[in-house]
């Protein structure tokens, strides 16, 4: 699984044999949606701009404006509606592009890109969402709350490598090279009750878990939270780094990160292995892509 392109991670280099093996996983033909609906006012990571939907064209508006999009011959009163969606690509279920996170005085990201040389007024020109690959691979759910015997993890609860390994063993599932591993914390079990969700926010994998995932050759990892990794980080390192997991996986290793992935139905049905399909929107200059991924069993 070699990376031949500094703008794409290992997920972009899956062999035909690996793709076919993943497609052979489903045996029941059941499809699980791994996304919750998006709507104005939806819960988001606090630093992100809000999700907005504004009507740009309506039947009444067309009539009032005297607009004739099909010409004057319209005896049946044909109208239409069109909306303007304003949102960060990190709204709801999404994947981070390699250009999402930067580090250092030169604000660099994976592949040697820097803000000074590769960030234009219309977004990054290196490792942006236009370079995101389709994800068609084996997915593994690691259900940490079920292992602990709780509905959801407490706020800011870390999940370390030893616990991830124990969860996998408890579930009887093996994490393999090429997998997408999704870690459930239970955060979205209260969606969209922001007050209830706040009691379980920002739990997730710590830096030891990131190393564990990297050692197993995963091409992507994700969770049901907006930050993937536990926040605040229990081990900031020296010099202090508030997001060491993103640094190791996304910036240094080109391992894509999925966030806000809805995992409640998979957990309810005890599904731990599945075909994972996610098709990012290739938007030039974007730093990620909203998704409606599915798990097929």
Give the CATH number for residue 181. Answer: 3.50.30.50
Same domain, 74 and 141: no
Q: What's the mean pLDDT in 72-77?
A: 94
CA 278 → CA 33, 133, 228, distances in Å?
A: 11, 9, 17
Q: What's the mean pLDDT in 18-25?
A: 98
Note whether 71 and 271 are within 8 A (CB). no
Burial of 34 from C-beta contacts in 10 A (0-12 / 13-18 / 19+): buried
Predicted confidence (pLDDT) at residue 1 exceeds the cutoff of 50: no
Instruction: Kindly report the pTM of this predicted structure.
Output: 0.95
Following DSSP, what letter does each residue of the chain receive, concatenated?
A: -----TTS-GGGG--HHHHHHHHT--SS--EEE--PPP-TT----TTSPPPEEEEEE-HHHHHHHT--TT-S--TT-----EEEEE--TTSSSEEE-TTS--BTTTTEEGGGEEHHHHEETTEESSS-GGGPPPEEEEEEEEEHHHHHTSSSPPTT-EE-HHHHHHHHHHHT----TT-EEEEE-SGGGGTT-HHHHHTTTT-EE-HHHHHHHHHTT-SEEEESSSSSS-SS-S--TTTT-S-HHHIIIIIIT--EEEES---HHHHHTT--EEEEEE-----TT-SEEE---EEE-
Q: For residue 44, is it within any domain? A: no
CA 231 → CA 24, 131, 234, 291, distances in Å?
A: 37, 28, 8, 23
Q: For residue 281, is it within any domain? A: yes
Same domain, 117 and 215: yes
Cis peptide before 192 (omega within 30 of 0): yes
Six-digit token string for 217: 């050759």
Q: For residue 229, is it within any domain? A: yes
Same domain, 70 and 139: no
C-alpha 229/C-alpha 214 separation (Å) is 14
Give Cβ neighbours of residue 123 (< 8 Å, ≥ 6 apart). 99, 284, 285, 286, 287
pLDDT band, residue 4 (cuts 50/70/90): low
Same domain, 267 and 207: yes
Same domain, 159 and 238: yes
Same domain, 199 and 153: yes
C-alpha 205/C-alpha 64 separation (Å) is 54
Same domain, 125 and 192: yes
Q: For residue 2, is it within any domain? A: no
Same domain, 63 and 179: no
Predicted confidence (pLDDT) at residue 280 exceeds the cutoff of 70: yes
Q: What is the pLDDT of residues 168-179, one digit of tens each?
A: 999 999 999 999
Same domain, 56 and 192: no
Q: For residue 240, is it within any domain? A: yes
Q: What is the pLDDT of residues 129-162, one digit of tens each?
A: 999 999 999 999 999 999 999 999 999 999 999 9
Number of domains in the chain: 2
Torsions phi, psi of 65, nearest 5?
-80, -10
Q: What is the pLDDT of residue 46?
A: 84
Q: For residue 81, is it within any domain? A: yes
Q: Which domain holds residue 81?
A: 52-86
Q: What's the mean pLDDT in 254-263?
A: 98
Note whether 223 and 189 are within 8 A (CB). no
Same domain, 171 and 195: yes
Same domain, 160 and 196: yes
Q: What is the pLDDT of residues 37-58, one digit of tens each?
A: 999 999 999 889 999 999 999 9
Q: What is the pLDDT of residues 86-120, one digit of tens each?
A: 999 999 999 999 999 999 999 999 999 999 999 99
Same domain, 174 and 257: yes
Q: For residue 42, is it within any domain? A: no
Q: What is the pLDDT of residues 187-219, one digit of tens each?
A: 999 999 999 999 999 999 999 999 999 999 999
Q: For residue 249, is it within any domain? A: yes
Percent above pLDDT 90 for the chain? 97
């Amino acid at each position: 699984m070699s990376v031949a392109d500094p703008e794409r991670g290992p997920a972009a280099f899956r062999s035909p044999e690996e793709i076919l093996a993943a497609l052979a996983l489903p045996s029941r033909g059941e499809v699980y949606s791994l996304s919750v609906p998006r709507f104005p006012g939806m819960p988001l990571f606090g630093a992100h701009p809000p999700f907005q939907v504004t009507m740009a064209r309506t039947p009444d508006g067309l009539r009032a404006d005297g607009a004739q999009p099909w010409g004057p011959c319209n005896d049946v009163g044909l109208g239409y509606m069109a909306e303007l969606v304003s949102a960060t690509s990190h709204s709801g279920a999404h994947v981070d592009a390699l250009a999402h996170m930067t580090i250092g005085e030169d604000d660099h990201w994976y592949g040697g890109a820097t803000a000074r040389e590769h960030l234009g007024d219309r977004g990054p020109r290196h490792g942006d969402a236009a370079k995101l690959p389709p994800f068609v691979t084996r997915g593994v759910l690691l259900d940490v709350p079920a292992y602990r015997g709780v509905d959801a993890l407490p706020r800011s609860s870390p999940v370390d490598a030893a616990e991830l390994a124990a969860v996998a063993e408890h579930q009887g599932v093996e994490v393999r090279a090429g997998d997408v591993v999704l870690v459930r914390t239970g955060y979205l079990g209260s969606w969209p009750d922001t007050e209830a969700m706040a009691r379980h926010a920002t739990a997730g994998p710590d830096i030891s878990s990131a190393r564990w995932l990297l050692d197993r050759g995963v091409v992507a990892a994700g969770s049901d939270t907006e930050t993937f990794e536990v926040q605040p980080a229990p081990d900031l390192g020296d010099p202090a780094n508030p997001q060491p997991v993103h640094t190791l996986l996304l910036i240094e290793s080109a391992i894509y990160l999925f966030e806000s992935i809805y995992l409640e139905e998979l957990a309810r049905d005890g599904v731990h292995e599945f075909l994972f399909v996610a098709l990012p929107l290739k938007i030039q200059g974007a730093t990620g892509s909203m998704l409606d991924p599915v798990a097929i069993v």
